[in-house]
Structure 1
Amino acid sequence: MNIQTNASRLPSRFIRLGTAVLAGTALSFMLGACAPVLIGGAAVGGAMVATDRRTSGIQLEDEGIELRAGSRIRENLGDRVHVNVTSYNRQVLLTGEVPSAQDKQLVEQVVSRVENVNAVVNELGVMGNSTLTQRSSDALVTGKVKASLVDSKDIFANSVKVTTERGTTYLMGRVTQREADRATEITRGVAGVQRVVRVLEIISPEELQRIQTTPPASGTTSPSPRTN
C-alpha cells in the first residue's frame, strides 16, 4: 500500500487515497493506494446529525476545531494568507494559499496545537491568493459534486465531505472501499473538477452495518475503524 508523504501527521488509521487529474477528455491518474472519503457538512441538529458517521460530540468538536484554528491563523499570520480549515473526525485539511514555505509550515504548526486536533493534512499552495472569481468557481464545483453524490442514490451523501480549491476537489469521510471508489468515480465526472484528492478513513462493511444499526453515541471518543 502506498501512502502519500505530504499528509502531515497522518495517523495510521487514515490513508491518503490519492489524486486524479482531468485534462480535457484525457484522464491522467495520480492515485496512491487506499484511503477514506467525505461529502458536505454536517449540521448539528436534525437528520444530518442522526445519519452522520461521527458521534454528535465529535461533530461539535470538528466545528470547534475549525473555528479555533481559523482564529489562531488570523492571530498569527493576519490577512496575508488565505487558508481554509476543514475538520472531520479530528483530522484537519488545510487548503488555500500562503506567500512562502515558511508560512505554510507555520500554519500547520499553529493548527496542530489546536485542542482536539489529531492530524493535519497540509495542502496549502505557496503562491498568491486566489481571486474571488476562482473561489466562486470552486464553490460552484463543490455544489455540483455534492449534488451528483446525492443523485447517485448508491452513496450516503452525508458520509462524504467535499471542498474544492483551485480546481482540486477534496473528499473526506468514513466510508467503505466501495463507497470510496464510487464517490471518486462520480467526482471525476463532474464538470470543473481538475483533480481529486481523497483523504478518507476506510471502514469495513461490518463496521458500516454496525454504525447504521446502532444510534451514534454523544460522546467524543474517536472510533478506531479498520483500514485496508
Structure 2
Amino acid sequence: MTIIRMALVALLASLLYGCATPVLLAGAAGGGTMAAHDRRTAGSQIDDQVIEMKAFARMQKDAALAKSENAHINTVSYNGVLLLTGEARTAELRRRAEEYVVNIPKVRKVHNEIRVAEPAKIGSRSRDSWITTKVKTKLLANKAIDGTRIKVVTESGTVYLMGLITRGEANLATSIASETSGVKRIVRAFEYLD
C-alpha cells in the first residue's frame, strides 16, 4: 500500500472512528521510525493495540453504548494506561464504559475522560482531527523534543497528551500544544521517567 493510500485510510478512519487515529498520518510516512524511538518495548506497543481493540469490542457488546446516538467513545492505550474519551448521553453509560474496560488484562490504569453530553457530530470530530494533526506536526518539528514519543488525542478541543517522558519534555510538549489554535484545554496523562 502506498504512503498516500495509507494516509487516506488513516484520515478516513479518524473521521469515522475517532480522533486518535490522525497520529497514523505522521507514522505512515515514517513506517518503523516511530516504533524505533518509542520508549515502550515492542511487546508493550502490541499490548496497547490489543487493549484498544478489546476495550472497543467490549463496549460494542453493550447495545446502548454501541448506538451512535447514545455514545461516541474512543479508546487509546499507552504503556497499559487506557484513556477513554468522547461522549455518552448519561452518567450511567459513562460508568458502564469504564466498567467494561477496567479488567482487561495488562490495563494498569484507566483515565475516564468521557463527557456526559450528546455524541459529537462529524464536523466537531474533523476539527479535533485537525487540531491533533497540528499539535503532532509541531511536536515532530521541534528539535528540542522527540515528538514521536508523545501520543496526541483531541476530543471537543481538549488535547490529551500521553507518553513515557521526563517532566521537562512534558512541560515543553504542553507549551507547544497550548500555543496551537483551537486548543481549549490540555490534559496530561504522561508517565514520568524522572
Q: Post-superposition shift, 1:179?
A: 0.3
Aligned to 2:91: 101
Q: Post-superposition shift, 1:110?
A: 0.2
Q: Post-superposition shift, 1:63?
A: 0.3
**Which has the greater radius of gyration?**
1
Q: Give the letter aligned to residue 154 of structure 1.
A: A
Distance 2:141 2:148 in 1: 13
Distance 1:156 1:92 in 2: 22
Higher relative contact order at CA 8 Å, sep ≥6: structure 1 or structure 2? 1
2:66 to 70, 78, 100: 78
Q: Give the letter aligned to residue 60 of structure 2.
A: R
> Which protein is richer in strand relative to its size?
1
2:106 match: secondary structure: coil
Aligned to 1:58: 44
Q: Please say if 1:169 is aligned against 2:159.
A: yes
Distance 2:86 2:186 in 1: 15
2:115 to 125, 150, 167: 125
1:94 match: secondary structure: strand
Aligned to 2:3: none
Distance 2:126 2:66 in 1: 22
Q: Give the letter aligned to residue 137 of structure 1.
A: R
> Which protein is richer in helix relative to its size?
2
1:151 to 97, 116, 141: 141
Aligned to 2:78: 88
2:163 match: secondary structure: strand
Q: Post-superposition shift, 1:115?
A: 2.0
Distance 1:82 1:158 in 2: 27
2:105 match: secondary structure: coil
Q: Note the alpha carbon deviations across 1:7-60, whole angstroms, 9 max, x for none.
A: xxxxxxxxxxxxxxxxxxxxxxxxxxxxxxxxx4678x7222111110000000
2:55 to 69, 74, 90: 69
2:179 to 153, 172, 189: 189
Q: Give the letter aligned to residue 61 of structure 1.
A: D
Q: Please say if 1:178 is aligned against 2:164.
A: no
Identity %: 41
2:189 match: secondary structure: strand
Distance 1:202 1:154 in 2: 17
Q: Post-superposition shift, 1:159?
A: 1.0
Root-mean-square deviation over aligned CA pairs: 1.6
Q: Give the letter aligned to residue 51 of structure 2.
A: I
2:61 match: secondary structure: helix
2:95 match: secondary structure: helix
Query: What TM-score do the two structures reach when normalised by structure 2?
Result: 0.81
Aligned to 1:37: none
Q: Note the alpha carbon deviations across 1:111-170, whole angstroms, 9 max, x for none.
A: 112222111000000010001000000000000000011111111111110000000000
1:109 match: secondary structure: helix
